[in-house]
């Protein structure tokens, strides 16, 4: 059974940093691209970033480019999102999800999310 478990969310002040983790199990983690998607309270889904299976290619939304860094440790089956220079508008539930097929852009399994609150 595929499982994705996010952790690392919490309350942080504007300008602060946080690192999210996503522990994966039940599939061959090193074979699939992975992504982060966020959802602000009461709002829709917003794609954040994606990383290729091997970690060599990454893409970011303009809203987080230069502030967030996606990475992965295939030996630990874990995906990360380093978030720096956090802003109020980064407040959201952050979901990790796995890609499938020949694409890094469609996602078949999602974690339950971790809440990040940016506030003073």
Whose tokens are 């996010």? That residue is 6
Among 41, 44, 56, 66, binds other proteins (CB under 8 A): 44
For the beta sheet containing 68-73, the strands, ordered from the edge strand earlier in sequence to the opposite edge, are: 3-7, 18-25, 78-83, 68-73
Binding mask 2-31 for other proteins (x = CB under 8 A): ------------------------------
Q: Is 46 exposed, middle or buried (0-12, 13-18, 19+ CB in 10 A)?
A: middle
CB of residue 50 to other proteins, shortest distance in Å: 7
Structural tokens at position 102:
């020949």
Contact 18, 115 (CB under 8 A): no
Our finding on whether 42 is near other proteins (CB under 8 A) is: no
Q: CB-wise, 13 or 65, nearer to other proteins?
A: 65
CB of residue 75 to other proteins, shortest distance in Å: 26
Q: Which among 7-15, 19-27, 38-46, 76-84 is the span making contact with other proteins, rule CB under 8 A?
A: 38-46
Rounded distance between C-alpha atoms, residue 56 and residue 39, angstroms: 26
Interacting residues with other proteins (CB under 8 A): 35, 37, 44-47, 50, 59-62, 95, 97, 101, 103-108, 110-113
């Amino acid at each position: 059974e595929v499982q994705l478990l996010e952790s690392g969310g919490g309350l942080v002040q504007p300008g602060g940093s946080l690192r999210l983790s996503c522990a994966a199990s039940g599939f061959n983690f090193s074979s699939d691209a992975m992504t982060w998607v966020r959802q602000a309270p009461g709002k829709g889904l917003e794609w954040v970033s994606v990383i290729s299976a091997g970690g060599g290619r990454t893409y970011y939304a303009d809203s987080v480019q230069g502030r967030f860094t996606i990475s992965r440790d295939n030996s630990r089956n874990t995906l990360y999102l380093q978030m720096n220079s956090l802003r109020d508008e980064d407040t959201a539930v952050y979901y990790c999800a796995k890609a499938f097929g020949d694409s890094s852009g469609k996602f078949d399994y999602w974690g339950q999310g971790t809440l990040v609150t940016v506030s003073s």
